[in-house]
Amino acid sequence: MDNIAGYIGRKATSTTNHILNLFAFTYRIFVLIFQRPRAGRALVRRVALERVYFTCVQALPIIIPIALVFGSMLIIQFAKVSGQYDLGKTMVMLIVRELGPVITAILVILRSATAITIEIGYMNVFHEIDAIEMAGIDPMRIVCLPRLIGITSAILCLFIVFDIVAIIGGYLIVWVFTYIPMGDFMTQIGKAITATDIAVGIIKTIFFGIAITVTCLKHGLSIKKLTTDAPFSTSKASVECFFYCIIINVITSILFYM
């Protein structure tokens, strides 16, 4: 019994320390946003744009079909029971508030989170981070800050694309390929969607982007000696990112629904 209690205590302590370190790491990166040094701006901008291109633009062929499938299937299912549910409000609540942020976060975790952890881990193992520090440059500004800005911006863009494609594209697919009466579906959407719905989705995606980026950067920087540690750290970072996104999603939904 003492061994179990000791294990639980050590685990709780290490988990708390890890979470506090993540908050401190996030704070250190955010401080850099308000600093405006003359040198290095072009490099930060270029790396951030590369992250946006990789995470958002190259993911469009993946997110668009997913959005069409989810949007059309939800419309078909709830249109059959439109007498029991307000179709417009239901679609807004499911897609804009819930599915949109979560699905884009999962896509970013599968696509970019793993890439960042491996990339930063290799940079650390091959002493590229040390070389940046020896050159008198803060690696937090050159390596971490642009990735935080790029991935957070990319996940926000993917969320907007997912919502538009799921609602409008799903409606068009149902209207063209089925005989389900849609009535004034777009009018219902226009009446149902509010500033709160949009704010909930945006807040979730921003926090998702920050949590994913910071977690992956932290795990990548923890790879110090062997490249064979990269798969383990990458897997751990991905699972941890997913867990944090679920927690953020639940807390945000509770705060806005209460």
Q: Which pLDDT score is estimated for 258?
A: 65
| CA 179, chain centre distance (Å) | 36
At 1, is the pLDDT very low, low, confident or very high (cuts 50, 70, 90)?
A: low
Rounded-to-integer distance, Cα 44 and Cα 51, Å: 11
The answer to whether 78 and 87 are in contact (CB under 8 A) is yes
In a domain, 138, yes or no: yes
Residue 103 identity (one-letter amino acid):
I
Lowest mean pLDDT segment, chosen from 15-19, 37-41, 81-85, 170-174: 81-85
Rounded-to-integer distance, Cα 10 and Cα 236, Å: 19
In a domain, 252, yes or no: yes
Q: Give the SS3 label for residue 194.
A: coil
Rounded-to-integer distance, Cα 191 and Cα 16, Å: 44
In a domain, 176, yes or no: yes
pTM: 0.89
Domain that residue 249 falls in:
37-257
In a domain, 238, yes or no: yes
In a domain, 12, yes or no: no
Q: Which pLDDT score is estimated for 94?
A: 86
Residue with tokens 């991935």: 151
Q: Which pair of structure tokens corresponds to residue 103? A: 């699905």
In a domain, 10, yes or no: no
Q: Which pLDDT score is estimated for 39?
A: 67
The answer to whether 104 and 155 are in contact (CB under 8 A) is yes
CA nearest 237: which of 219, 211, 223, 224?
Answer: 219
In total, how many domains does the chain have?
1
The answer to whether 71 and 170 are in contact (CB under 8 A) is yes
The answer to whether 40 and 144 are in contact (CB under 8 A) is no
In a domain, 230, yes or no: yes
In a domain, 243, yes or no: yes
The answer to whether 98 and 253 are in contact (CB under 8 A) is yes
